[in-house]
Amino acid sequence: MAHSYRRILVKLSGEALMAPDGYWLHPQTLAQLAEDLARATRGGFEIALVIGGGNIIRGARMSAAGWIDRPTADSMGMLATVMNSLALETALNAAGVSARTMSAVSMPTICETYARQPALHHLDKGQVLVLAGGTGNPFFTTDTSAVLRAAELHCHAVLKATQVDGVYSADPKTNPEAIRYDHITHDEAIARDLKIMDTAAFALARESRLPVIVGCVHAPSSITAILEGTAPSTLVAP
């Protein structure tokens, strides 16, 4: 089923940029993602992107070791998202798309500081927005940033990229009986304890009545295919 949403916030985890040998960044993967996003914009979709930093640092895990406090580790995590965002902005520009990084953490010599009105203006002009620096606050994740920015930038849906092509009744890697849902509500996802995003992010999506499309973007052109309904995905919507 083709989705009727036009302005989409795409949430990629930092791990989506990693090389097969574990190096934090893989230029070929970046180029493939950028090409896919370029195709989506040519197809009329307006795209805002949030990239995590988990390929470099996750604050909660780092601070659990005990030698660094959580807010400092989270600051490092937010900086990691800026590095990923600049890499993706570069790949998007190379793919012929005008892309603009805006960071919630102010660093004006490196990129624009996030502000809602200029961000809306960039989107209205057809630029791809790369939203870096998370929410700018510790103790949050980029899933929460994705939902927050989607809600404030009038995005019609969040496309949450995962390792599997949707939301399943059980882990499809270990349970052959697992079935993929085509459509579930936010309330059903919570009642069945389906982990789609972290709790804070998902609560905000539910409160904002924001649709979340869950799919896998590993294959070439999969972002466009999910949005056009030719690749499998799960729609979480009221």
Using CB under 6 A, list all residues that contact ligand UDP. 13-15, 52-54, 58-60, 74, 77-78, 80-81, 134-135, 137-138, 140-145
Which residue minimizes CB distance to ligand UDP?
Answer: 52
What is the amino acid identity at position 82? V
Nearer to ligand UDP, 24 or 168 (CB): 24
The count of C-alpha atoms lying within 13 angstroms of the C-alpha of 229, restricted to the half-sphere facing its C-beta, is: 9
Cβ atoms of 143 and 53 within 8 Å: the answer is: no
Whose Cβ is closer to ligand UDP: residue 14's or residue 166's? 14
Q: How far is the CB of 81 from ligand UDP (least distance, A)?
A: 6
The residue among 112 and 228 lying less far from ligand UDP, judged by its C-beta, is 112
Give least dist CB 231 to ligand UDP, A.
Answer: 21
In the complex with ligand UDP, the residue whose CB is nearer, 138 or 211, is: 138
Concatenating the DSSP letter of every residue in 50-114 gives EE--TTT--HHHHHHTSSS-HHHHHHHHHHHHHHHHHHHHHHHHHTT--EEEEESS--TTTSEEP
Closest separation in Å from C-beta 201 to ligand UDP:
9
Shortest reach from residue 171's CB to ligand UDP, in Å: 19
Nearer to ligand UDP, 61 or 192 (CB): 61
The length of the chain, given as a count of residues? 238
Partners of 214 in beta bridges: 160, 234
Q: Least distance in Å: CB of 78 to ligand UDP?
A: 5
Query: Does an H or E element contain 28, and which?
Result: helix 27-42
Q: Which amino acid, residue 111?
A: C
Residue 123 amino acid letter: L
